[in-house]
A and B are shown apart, each in its own frame.
Chain A
């Protein structure tokens, strides 16, 4: 079990001191996969590097199973680390990379073959690193990191260098491999979909601090405030005093799918809103509208293509909205783009 208490990492760049990680407390139980989610520059990578032993903490403790790791050098922590672009050794073959951390004796070739199969690259052992595509290199990097059976696997934006299609495939590979090996892992990403797809627990980071922490569904259902809601994909934040009848009272975060122009639903018992279409945009997911309702411009989805200026009735889907614990105030309710 990984326990982090009061951890801070400060850098001195020139005359300026920057606090990259600010008094972070975290616990990762065995077998858990924690996603560190946050915008770039929030300190998530620095936190990961501190856990790995690459960065030296300015304050606080990093403990494994109750043992403080402050004086355990990087190579004795037995944590695996996977970098954004693999950082494979260019002068070794694929097998040479994967087998690097393995003891020389024993069933080494069999082990390497098994790992290659696990990441979906059987028979690639003798390939050279520069012959690999980006996705293949990341699979090798994953196999290399897993070869030593690390007690904790640290993944630093392992998908960021891949294109979209490859990213979703690789995400599945990582998720399956982590599940198959029961590896405890910390996964750093700036992409909320990645984080929710792979993690049991998500820690949302902002300015070096843990902003909110919980199961993906908790973050999704109950974002702490407007910032957290926006980061997990909510498009519009309404202040407590939004005054729209038909919507729950109190501060509210809305996704486009929360409101829907739907003839069938309008006839049903669910509450509905009346508004005027102010903008229409066709997307692969359907027609996205901006609808003016009671002084606010709300996002909505339609199955047909209405005209600007048309009056529409909107069905309200409670699953597409989340109440906020903190009122952002009237200025926070920005219209949809």
Chain B
């Protein structure tokens, strides 16, 4: 009774106003859905479709015979087999090393844990070209481990893959492990299970979704590995991805390239569906009660030793890269100095470049910034849409299919995207040949799925009642999003921003098609430098790779420090902890 006076002015009286309100909301939803649909349609489905059409469409009919032809070749079969088994081996090795690492870094507490967590994340943010070059230098005949005879071997490739993806297992499994309730294990122990049986019967089943999710992610990254294979495969080993590159660029056999692209898309789609099913189970166990083990108990010693050895081993290639970039070679012999870094401002030995490396660095940073902005905007809209929980079954089905489409760029060969751009945008009205903005568009497309993978789980795990509480207190849907979703997602968003910048910085597959010789990016220049003989060019490449690596790490650190400063929640997690989400 006493609260009645304010009723009349604010509350809506006319049912009609609510009607138009819900109509507006539907319109707003459709409009926001249009952003990702149009950008993905124009810059992904259309170019990829054009490439496939060019390769498989002859006189208006699809040449399905091509599949039998191409897949019947023994070379292609060997490449398919190699792609699969090296990816499986890489994933297996990552698990072998990563599970003890996850236990150490997420279940035990010891001084310097935060630093180690940050250190093992560094490789993941490094461009593949840089990692490939570091391992090639390490295992080269005159390298630190030249005596192993691993130069250009499968072992070296697997080592580089494990180096890059170790942290995926550590963080994904670690996040899940940290959230496990200790009491279940204690209950098992009290019922007579030994530590091993308790681990196998209680802990492992609880971790299984995270373990399988991480393994399939590593498998996906390694199966579509491009930079590493191009730099280290030495023509001896190819994956599907490098073979698509070879068929389009060297042989110009678009038919074979198109068939291989389709095979890769289908393969990745199958993997993503499986991962999606596993992930939906993993998300349910997100963030529950957790207990930390203080110090390192006797049982944890093997895990501690394995993790220490892994972390030390991971430092070696990076150290080699930096040290070798400081070694100079002149007619007087070898020495040490900054000559290679001085050469970054020149056009290289025999003027093999049109612009100096410093200019390429500027190009890379500029393109990566635009790519990051685009990927974040589109990724945020996509995440907001996908986080909705529609009542109707049809709505849910629609959303899950949109989810799948949005993940497609993750699996489609970057080479296919880059070459598709060249083919699709070469005639009016879409004649964008040589347009410099195509580079950030393609790069942003490659980064966007990761942005979604990092933001979406956080949005989905947000307590819906927080949104309801805000709405009950008078917030419109837009304000609810601003006041509840955005602050909660801000850390994941910062992490996504770092990756959305770092991935385009190192992007090689698509960019190598789209960057003109006058406007190359840094990875393209490095690729060009190491494809030419000459110690001077190699030295410049090492210096350029070091600069690129430092830029990427600095970008992540910068975002991290910004988040730390702006953080008001006292939440101690790293930005990159949200890596566990994808």
A interface residue numbers (CB < 8 A to B): 12, 30-31, 52-54, 56, 64-65, 67-68, 70-81, 83, 87-91, 100-101, 128, 130, 144-145, 147-151, 181-184
Shortest CB-to-CB span from B87 to chain A, Å, is: 37
Contact A83 B465, beta carbon cutoff 8 Å = yes
Instruction: Say whether B109 faces chain A, with CB atoms less than 8 Å apart.
Output: no
Given contacts A31-B1, A182-B1, contact A73 B22 (CB under 8 A): yes
Report which of A52, A72, A151, A182 forms a contact with B12, defined as CB distance below 8 A: A72
Contact A54 B468, beta carbon cutoff 8 Å = yes
Instruction: Say whether B569 faces chain A, with CB atoms less than 8 Å apart.
Output: yes
Contact B13 A182, beta carbon cutoff 8 Å = no
Report which of B1, B4, B10, B19 forms a contact with A71, defined as CB distance below 8 A: B19
Q: Chain B residues with Cβ under 8 A from A79's Cβ?
A: 472
Contact A151 B570, beta carbon cutoff 8 Å = no
Given contacts A12-B393, A54-B468, A90-B569, contact A76 B18 (CB under 8 A): yes
| B456-487 with Cβ < 8 A to chain A | 463, 465-466, 468-477, 479-480, 483-484, 487
Q: What secondary structure prevails in chain B residues at the interface with A?
A: helix
Contact A101 B473, beta carbon cutoff 8 Å = yes
Q: Chain B residues with Cβ under 8 A from A31's Cβ?
A: 1-2
Alpha-carbon separation in the docked complex, A259 to B487 (Å): 61
Which residue of chain B lies nearest to A79 when distances are taken between CB atoms in the complex? B472
Contact A73 B7, beta carbon cutoff 8 Å = no
Report which of B6, B13, B473, B487 forms a contact with A67, defined as CB distance below 8 A: B13
Q: Chain A residues with Cβ under 8 A from B4's Cβ?
A: 30, 151
Given contacts A52-B468, A100-B473, contact A30 B19 (CB under 8 A): no
Contact A128 B570, beta carbon cutoff 8 Å = yes
B interface residue numbers (CB < 8 A to A): 1-4, 6-7, 10-13, 15-19, 21-22, 391, 393, 463, 465-466, 468-477, 479-480, 483-484, 487-488, 568-570
Shortest CB-to-CB span from A197 to chain B, Å, is: 21
Most buried by B among A77, A90, A91, A182: A91
Alpha-carbon separation in the docked complex, A73 to B468 (Å): 11
Q: Chain A residues with Cβ under 8 A from B17's Cβ?
A: 71
Report which of B3, B469, B472, B570 forms a contact with A183, defined as CB distance below 8 A: B3
Contact B18 A182, beta carbon cutoff 8 Å = no
Q: Chain B residues with Cβ under 8 A from A72's Cβ?
A: 11-12, 15, 18
Q: Chain B residues with Cβ under 8 A from A68's Cβ?
A: 15
CB<8 Å pairs between A and B, sample of 23: A52-B468, A53-B472, A70-B15, A71-B15, A71-B17, A72-B12, A73-B471, A73-B477, A74-B472, A75-B476, A78-B7, A87-B468, A89-B470, A90-B488, A91-B568, A100-B475, A130-B570, A147-B473, A151-B4, A151-B11, A181-B2, A181-B3, A182-B3
Contact A75 B471, beta carbon cutoff 8 Å = yes
Q: Chain A residues with Cβ under 8 A from B468's Cβ?
A: 52, 54, 74, 81, 83, 87
Q: Chain B residues with Cβ under 8 A from A78's Cβ?
A: 7, 10-11, 474
Report which of A64, A67, A91 forms a contact with B569, defined as CB distance below 8 A: A91
Report which of B6, B13, B21 forms a contact with A73, defined as CB distance below 8 A: B21
Shortest CB-to-CB span from A77 to chain B, Å, is: 7
Shortest CB-to-CB span from B463 to chain A, Å, is: 6
Q: Chain A residues with Cβ under 8 A from B466's Cβ?
A: 87, 89
Q: Chain A residues with Cβ under 8 A from B6's Cβ?
A: 149, 151
Which residue of chain B lies nearest to A14 when distances are taken between CB atoms in the complex? B393
Alpha-carbon separation in the docked complex, A75 to B12 (Å): 11
Alpha-carbon separation in the docked complex, A79 to B11 (Å): 10
Shortest CB-to-CB span from A110 to chain B, Å, is: 18
Contact A151 B7, beta carbon cutoff 8 Å = yes
Alpha-carbon separation in the docked complex, A73 to B471 (Å): 9
Contact B15 A100, beta carbon cutoff 8 Å = no
Which residue of chain A lies nearest to B18 when distances are taken between CB atoms in the complex? A71
Contact A80 B472, beta carbon cutoff 8 Å = yes
Contact A184 B469, beta carbon cutoff 8 Å = no
Q: Chain A residues with Cβ under 8 A from B21's Cβ?
A: 71, 73
Most buried by A among B4, B473, B483, B484: B473
Report which of B3, B15, B391, B476 forms a contact with A149, defined as CB distance below 8 A: B3
Report which of A77, A81, A91, A150 forms a contact with B487, defined as CB distance below 8 A: A91
Alpha-carbon separation in the docked complex, A75 to B475 (Å): 5
Alpha-carbon separation in the docked complex, A147 to B3 (Å): 12
Q: Chain A residues with Cβ under 8 A from B479's Cβ?
A: 75
Given contacts A74-B471, A75-B474, A81-B472, contact A184 B463 (CB under 8 A): no
Which residue of chain B lies nearest to A90 when distances are taken between CB atoms in the complex? B569
8 nearest interchain CB pairs? A71-B18, A101-B473, A182-B2, A87-B465, A30-B1, A31-B1, A81-B472, A91-B487
Contact B483 A76, beta carbon cutoff 8 Å = no
Most buried by A among B11, B470, B476: B11
Most buried by B among A54, A87, A149: A87
Alpha-carbon separation in the docked complex, A54 to B393 (Å): 18
Which residue of chain A lies nearest to B6 when distances are taken between CB atoms in the complex? A149
Given A90-B569, A91-B487: 9 more A-B contacts, CB < 8 Å: A67-B13, A72-B11, A74-B471, A75-B472, A75-B480, A81-B469, A181-B2, A182-B2, A182-B3
Q: Chain A residues with Cβ under 8 A from B16's Cβ?
A: 71
Contact B1 A184, beta carbon cutoff 8 Å = yes
Which residue of chain B lies nearest to A147 when distances are taken between CB atoms in the complex? B473
Q: Chain B residues with Cβ under 8 A from A148's Cβ?
A: 473-474
Q: Chain A residues with Cβ under 8 A from B476's Cβ?
A: 75
Q: Chain A residues with Cβ under 8 A from B3's Cβ?
A: 149-151, 181-184
Q: Chain B residues with Cβ under 8 A from A71's Cβ?
A: 15-19, 21-22
Q: Chain B residues with Cβ under 8 A from A54's Cβ?
A: 468
Alpha-carbon separation in the docked complex, A75 to B474 (Å): 4
Shortest CB-to-CB span from B469 to chain A, Å, is: 5
Report which of A87, A130, A145 forms a contact with B463, defined as CB distance below 8 A: A87
Alpha-carbon separation in the docked complex, A250 to B517 (Å): 100
Shortest CB-to-CB span from B243 to chain A, Å, is: 45
Shortest CB-to-CB span from B412 to chain A, Å, is: 34
Alpha-carbon separation in the docked complex, A294 to B2 (Å): 56
Alpha-carbon separation in the docked complex, A87 to B17 (Å): 30
Alpha-carbon separation in the docked complex, A148 to B10 (Å): 12
Shortest CB-to-CB span from A28 to chain B, Å, is: 12
Alpha-carbon separation in the docked complex, A316 to B13 (Å): 57
Which residue of chain A lies nearest to B11 when distances are taken between CB atoms in the complex? A78
Given contacts A83-B465, A128-B570, A151-B4, contact A91 B13 (CB under 8 A): no
Q: Chain B residues with Cβ under 8 A from A83's Cβ?
A: 465, 468-469
